[in-house]
Structure 1
Amino acid sequence: MVALSTREELRDLAERAGRDLEGASALEILGWADGQFGSSWAVASSMADAVLPSLAAKVRPGVDILFLDTGYHFAETIGTRDAVAATLPVTIKTIEPRQTVAEQDASFGARLYERNPDQCCALRKVMPLRKALRDYTAWASGLRRDEASTRKDVKVVEWDDQRSMVKLNPIAAWNQDDVDIYMSENGILVNPLLFDGYGSVGCAPCTRRIAPGEDARAGRWSGSNKVECGLH
């Protein structure tokens, strides 16, 4: 494990790894991170499926999996989290916002997600994750380049400037076929909503089923210009 004393050294390491590990397998990328950071890395999972928790557990059994409980999740998403905790050798850490939904409604008015979805995401996702990640040097996400135009340039390892830490995107180069093959070969848990017309799973008030031929993320913040929650 390498000791890095400055932000600049850590950023240089991330940028170099982003170049050197392009083309490496997801397990090789996560293995690199484990060699560099030991237990000081975690996985953020939305519980759409258990692909990334499964991969991470192969590298570091007991790895921390951070789940953002916004208070607006579908019951199926909470159920998937609980099933992952029960069946994989991981440590699920449920991260909650500073305010409950009722407290947020009292402060900002009801249905903030309709009036100002960016602020709602900031309060219930971005800020809680930033606080939770203070205990780590690196974090992993399940971003893929094929998911959206906003993600087409994602590197397998990159520098997370807003949090001053290393970010891992070990399945960035995967496509849906790669995901399907891995899930089939490894018996991966999948959020039931993905079999019920949803292409992508977020908070219930801001997620709808998609029509045939629509982009997988078309059901997120439908009818608005918003395409990302701000975590990435």
Structure 2
Amino acid sequence: MITYQNWITPDISFDSDSETKGALEVLEWAYSTYGDEILYSCSFGVEGSVLIDLISKVNPFAQVVFLDTGLHFQETYDVINSVKEAYPNLTIILKKPLLTLEEQEVQYGKALWKSSPNLCCQLRKIEPLQESLAHVTAWISGLRREQSPTRRHVQYINRDEKFKKVKICPLIHWTWKDVWRYVHKHQLPYHALHDRGYPSIGCHPCTQPAFDENDLRSGRWAGQAKLECGLHEDTRGTLS
């Protein structure tokens, strides 16, 4: 088994020209390789709808983790409930931070996401994911190369330097049109805010409708020199 510690380039290949652009094949490999030692960290955007459907075809009892910062839109919780109904065998865990919002305010001041957004993400997203990954070897993410400049070089299988895990990204070759074509073809539940100009959705204080049609993440941390929450930095890939 390939782990972060004994990392070697996997001697396998995936067909990016297949019906799912390699995604289903990657997931089949991932679950056959890691079994219960892999989880999917899902934000429940539209890519999450696609991945959950694909994962359910490979492992209907898979573990899915949602980083419940306490700052999400109500529509996010609504789509989580819809997914639970559609895939009742999945284990969907809402992972909360160590500090409540009230405790965070006492320690760090009001609206930390304004005064120090990186620290807010550290406390409410990065550390909870770190805890969730403590007992697994690999994790799945819905990153796509098309999403932003910081994601253009992500691979199917990556050595994740931040969390010291193997990181699987099945959708790297999917376009925005591919994602929506799959969602509509299979009539999947999806986040309601996508129909209101939000192609990328995070916490409500830091998410606005996209203002640049060529940048799907332009509504995230708008007006700040911040592009990522920190979960997906330091990823080094091997298989394209």
TM-score (norm 1): 0.92
Q: After the TM superposition, which residues 139-154 of structure 1 pair with which residues of structure 2 at under 5 Å, given as runs?
A: 139-154=139-154
Q: Residue 37 of structure 1 is aligned with which of 34, 37, 48?
A: 34
Count of aligned residue pairs for this structure pair: 225
The 2-side partners of 1:206 and 1:43 are apart by: 23
21-30 or 46-55: bigger deviation:
21-30
Instruction: Quote the offset at 1:216 in angstroms.
Output: 1.4
What does residue range 6-155 of structure 1 map to in structure 2 within 5 Å? 7-9=4-6, 11-12=7-8, 15-16=9-10, 20-21=13-14, 23=16, 25-49=22-46, 50-88=49-87, 89-155=89-155
CA distance in 2, matches of 1:79, 1:212: 27
2 CA distance for matches of 1:26 and 1:201? 22
- Overall identity of the aligned pairs, in %: 36
CA contact 1:198–1:209 (8 Å) conserved in 2: yes
Query: Mean Cα displacement is larger for which, 107-116 or 48-57?
Result: 48-57
> What's the CA shift for 1:8?
3.5
Distance 1:202 1:7 in 2: 28
Q: Kindly indicate whether the alpha-carbon contact (under 8 Å) linking 2:212 and 2:218 is maintained by their aligned counterparts in 1.
A: no
Contact 1:22 1:155 in 2 (8 A): no
Amino acid at match of 2:109: G
Query: Is the contact between residue 4 and residue 166 of structure 2 (CA under 8 Å) also seen in structure 1?
Result: no
Partners of 1:90 and 1:173 in 2: CA distance: 25
Cα distance in 1 for partners of 2:212, 2:41 equals: 29
Match in the other structure for 2:238:
none
8 Å CA contact 2:4, 2:160 repeated in 1: no
Equivalent position SS for 2:125 = helix
Tell me, in whole angstroms, the C-alpha distance in 2 between the residues paired with 1:7 and 1:184.
37
Instruction: Give the C-alpha shift of residue 128 in structure 1.
Output: 0.3
Aligned to 2:219: 219
Deviation at 1:164, TM superposition (A): 1.8
Q: Distance in 2 between matches of 1:96 and 1:217?
A: 24
| Cα separation, 2, equivalents of 1:135 and 1:60 | 19
SS at match of 2:126: helix
Cα RMSD (Å): 1.6
Task: State the AA in 1 paired with 2:14.
Answer: L
Summarize the Cα distance change of 1:122–1:22 in structure 2 as closer, same or farther, 3 Å threshold.
farther
SS in 1 for 2:147: coil
Matched, 1:202 2:195: no
What are the ranges of 5 or more consecutive residues in structure 2 without an aligned counterpart? 233-240
1:22 Cα deviation from its structure 2 partner: 6.4
Residue 127 of structure 1: SS of its match in structure 2? Answer: helix
Q: Is residue 206–residue 220 contact of structure 1 (8 Å, CA) maintained in 2? A: yes
Query: What letter corresponds to residue 107 of structure 1 in structure 2?
Result: Q
Equivalent position SS for 1:167: strand
For the residue of structure 2 that corresponds to 1:94, the secondary structure is strand
- Deviation (angstroms), 1:135: 1.9
**Cα shift at 1:91:** 1.0
Counterpart-to-counterpart distance in 2, 1:68 and 1:177:
26
